[in-house]
Structure 1
Amino acid sequence: MNPTRGYDELRHVWGPVAPVSIHPGVTAWLVLGHQAALEVIWNEHPFSSDARCWNAVTDGRLPADAPLLAMLGWRPAVSRLSMDAHRRHRQAVTGVLEQIDLRRLRLVVQLRADGLIDHWAQRTSADLVTEYSRPLIWAVFAHLLGFSPASVPALEALVIAVTDTADGAAEADAELLEAVRRLLQTRIAAPGPDLASWMAHATTLTETEIAHNLVQLLLFGARSTVDWIGNALRLLLSDRHVNALVATGRITPADVLERTLMDDPPVPNIPGRWATKDLMLAGHPVRAGDLLIPCLAAANTDPAIQGGGGSARTGSRAHLAWGTGAHGCPAKDLARLIAETAVDAALRRLPEPRPAHSGSARATQQSMWAGGPAELPVDFAQATPAHRAEVPHGLPAVMLVPERTRTVPVQEGEAPQRWGWWDSLTGW
């Protein structure tokens, strides 16, 4: 079913908020309206990011091994906490992200993008997802976190399994967390110019908290950036008007990326807010502990904010892709830089790209938490040379090496297993 048509049908029956089934015997509120979504995202007092109050869990209706808990379950990380705990984690994460040299990061993306294009440029055809956006972004994220290039295929497979929330998602989440823990142990002993080292040596978070925050960066950063680039390139391939505007310089790749956040967001739904008390939302009675899912894809197409510009519209800042309020995305500037550099490199190097076959620019991965083309095969004229200066072997560092100022503390009684907290939930 066409998602937009489905949202319209739900809106017609239920209005801005609709009850939906997400597991046998478990329902949630899908927040379709822009104003209602903004209210849920903005107000952390009645709408918490902490899943420990989820009534489907406390009532025993949702088993602890349910695949969707890999994305919706609680973890000690910035996006899954509220109030003072959230602010403590956010301060630590944003402080570390500020250590990234943006000029060097842009260079890293450019070098990797040019290297990928050089690899298949002479073919005059390529898949801009499987041969460009995916390997590009995963190489960049591995470099940022401190993973080796050899670890990328396994990391990507685990992230996809978790964000798809199919069978095996909980096991994939545990494996991903263990991989991050191993990296963290290495960086505690020998810090490098990467985020894992800075989180370990320049924050007061515990080892478990750092590991979960790095997992969140992979889950919500890497795949969504791949999909964001794919959606922007798909728009350029499928919309001649937008393509012409870019070709004549009337809009920039940044404008195209902004429009995709409105029309085709790479994160269709925000993974959960929970009502902290009984309340009314858009005329619907919401109980304390109910799950609400702000649907960005639906909120962005809410007739209340649509201007009727059709294909001529180049973008709108009314989208909620970055969240807002206390839980606004702390890495949005980094994500923009990476995505803009990647799209700009593709446009600069690939003259006259066009879909390799009819419909190839429209195939979309099906996931509640991720939305982007699974493939994007294109044909193009011979690629433009990179015209870059010689650079040292490998990608340059984007951070300094942090000083080894402390050993990461481990809180007494921390459970080593991912879902250990469920056992003591009733005592929270």
Structure 2
Amino acid sequence: MDQNSQSPHECPVPFHGGLVPLHGGLPDQDPGRFYEGLRRHWGPIAPVELGPGVGAWLVMGYQEVLELVWNERAFSSDARRWNSITEGSLPENSPLLAVLGWRPALNRLDDQAHRRQRRAVTETLNGIDLRRLRSAVRQQAEALVDGWATDRTADLVSQYARPLVWSAFRMLVGLPRSEERRLGALLGSIAGGAHDAARAEAELTGMLHRLVAAKREVPGPDLTSWLLAHSAPLTEAEVAHGLAAVLLSGGESTIGWISGTMRLQLGDARLDSAVATGQLTVRDLTDRALWDGSPVPNIAGRWARNDLTFAGCRVRAGDLLIPCLAAANTDLRVHGAQNLGSRAHLAWGTGSHGCPAKDVARSIAETAVDVLLRRLGQLRPGVHAIAPPRQPSLWSGAPDELPVVFAPVRPVRPNAAAGAPATSTVMGVPAKRKDERAADSGSKPPQWSWWNSINGW
């Protein structure tokens, strides 16, 4: 029965049976087909179960997702409103809390508190020299390809996208190289909704708190130091949780974007030819991939501030609503009208809570794809490459693997170690905040303060 034909009182009420289970890997068999089936039956919004006994609304319509993320008067980002918590139906160790639980980070705050952190994070990210970032990413990408250039086969997820992205984000936040592998593992557990996601989130937070404390003492050319120096000002807890939000939203989505772009290119000979002849740019190809499959299928939800009717359904105060970007981007009301290269997709969210790291993600993804297309001749999909196996996850669109075969190529720098640190940084080192300078005005100015004038901050 089509929900659009029902009155609000005829819609099934969440949390009381009749929910569509989203746990156990059901939508991961064929996400596009699964979401389309839900939309045909329920319309743009469906009652779902995120975990045993944990109900929510899955918002799948393009216009409805826009309304959900833009209407901050009706919908809150503060998980403390969640009735699954207040009514005691959500276990304290639920893996859902790693993504949806409250924390003092910009993606889980409303109103002035959100705007204050959003400004600090956005202005800090804007301080990244994207040209130098692309150069550093290209250096790392070339080294990774060199590592298996003569093997004739590679997995573009585990041997390329993941190590490349985590190398870049580790550098951006200022973590030591020794933490890189652990950083990727922790974020993978959180985004993948693993059973130990809550433990992984706690360990990640501890890692970032230690980083923030270290950068407070000795600032460096990284996001952490700039957030600490911002005029907001931010507490160390806010900086740590803000970094976690950037890493989770920016890192995992970039991995999904790279692998999704390559999967699209491998599966369509026309795209392959168009790129090879210059009719289609790498930017066009990566934009098309965002329509084809969102790197982040669903984003952290919103909670109804009051009882209301939304998309024809009765929604209670405290109900969780999940914006399903993967479904919204295939909504026939908009998808049929999009042109190749259009950026009207919702892959990064939208509104004041849209992903603040999308320019960083674009720089990394486009560089990564460009290196692969330029370096690898006769690139062909390996087993499962077009429809690769995936672990059940509501929050990550990246496949587990993306095997390819190719003609062997000559390494560019055969003696260079994959993963060698970049030869240059992509940010300067911030000067101390005014309040900190006043506290030690009698001390000698720090030697690193000249970066402030060079970078115009």
When normalised by structure 2's length, the TM-score is: 0.84
Give the structure 2 partner of residue 422 of structure 1: none
Give the structure 2 partner of residue 324 of structure 1: 350
Give the structure 1 partner of residue 30 of structure 2: 2
Deviations, residues 72-96 of structure 1 (Å, cap 9, x unaligned) = 1111111111111110000111111
Counterparts of 1:383 and 1:396, CA distance in 2: 27
Counterparts of 2:150 and 2:293, CA distance in 1: 31
Counterparts of 1:394 and 1:20, CA distance in 2: 45
Counterparts of 2:155 and 2:384, CA distance in 1: 14
Q: 1:37 to 1:360 in 2, by over 3 A?
A: closer
Alignment of 1:71-82 (within 5 A): 71-82=99-110
Deviations, residues 90-123 of structure 1 (Å, cap 9, x unaligned) = 0111111121111111111111011111111122
The alignment partner of 1:292 has SS state of strand
Give the structure 2 partner of residue 247 of structure 1: 276
Alignment of 1:8-23 (within 5 A): 8-23=36-51
1:184 to 204, 212, 215: 212
The alignment partner of 1:30 has SS state of strand
Counterparts of 1:46 and 1:115, CA distance in 2: 49
Give the structure 1 partner of residue 397 of structure 2: 371
The alignment partner of 1:333 has SS state of helix
| Structure 1 position 92 matched with structure 2 position 120 | yes
What displacement does 1:25 show? 2.4
Give the structure 1 partner of residue 10 of structure 2: none
How many pairs were matched up? 403
The alignment partner of 2:169 has SS state of helix
| Structure 1 position 49 matched with structure 2 position 77 | yes
Residues 65, 323 of structure 2: 8 Å contact kept = yes
Letter in structure 2 aligned against 1:292: L
Give the structure 1 partner of residue 440 of structure 2: none
What displacement does 1:24 show? 2.5
Residues 361, 375 of structure 1: 8 Å contact kept = no
| Structure 1 position 213 matched with structure 2 position 242 | yes
What displacement does 1:359 show? 4.6
Deviations, residues 208-251 of structure 1 (Å, cap 9, x unaligned) = 00000011111111111111101101111111111111111111
Letter in structure 1 aligned against 2:344: A
Q: 1:368 to 1:358 in 2, by over 3 A?
A: closer
What displacement does 1:407 show? 5.8
Letter in structure 2 aligned against 1:381: A
| Structure 1 position 284 matched with structure 2 position 308 | no
What displacement does 1:393 show? 6.8
The alignment partner of 1:352 has SS state of strand
Deviations, residues 116-168 of structure 1 (Å, cap 9, x unaligned) = 11111122322111111111111011111111222111111111111122321
| Structure 1 position 298 matched with structure 2 position 324 | no
Residues 350, 381 of structure 1: 8 Å contact kept = yes
Identical amino acids, percent of aligned pairs: 52
Residues 201, 402 of structure 1: 8 Å contact kept = yes
What displacement does 1:384 show? 5.9
1:228 to 257, 279, 291: 257
When normalised by structure 1's length, the TM-score is: 0.89
Alignment of 1:167-178 (within 5 A): 167-178=195-206
Counterparts of 1:150 and 1:386, CA distance in 2: 26
Counterparts of 1:269 and 1:245, CA distance in 2: 31
1:110 to 138, 150, 158: 138
Residues 237, 361 of structure 1: 8 Å contact kept = no
Q: 1:280 to 1:393 in 2, by over 3 A?
A: closer
Q: 1:186 to 1:245 in 2, by over 3 A?
A: same
Q: 20-29 or 340-349: which moved more?
A: 20-29
Residues 124, 382 of structure 1: 8 Å contact kept = yes
Letter in structure 1 aligned against 2:262: L
Letter in structure 2 aligned against 1:53: R
Alignment of 1:19-38 (within 5 A): 19-38=47-66
1:399 to 413, 416, 427: 427
- What CA RMSD, in Å, does the superposition of the two structures yield over aligned residues? 2.1
Give the structure 2 partner of residue 419 of structure 1: none
Q: 1:210 to 1:226 in 2, by over 3 A?
A: same
Counterparts of 2:69 and 2:309, CA distance in 1: 15
Deviations, residues 333-357 of structure 1 (Å, cap 9, x unaligned) = 1111111111111111111211233
What displacement does 1:207 show? 0.5
Letter in structure 2 aligned against 1:150: S
Deviations, residues 41-100 of structure 1 (Å, cap 9, x unaligned) = 111111111111111111122122211011011111111111111100001111111211
Residues 18, 29 of structure 1: 8 Å contact kept = yes
Residues 162, 169 of structure 1: 8 Å contact kept = yes
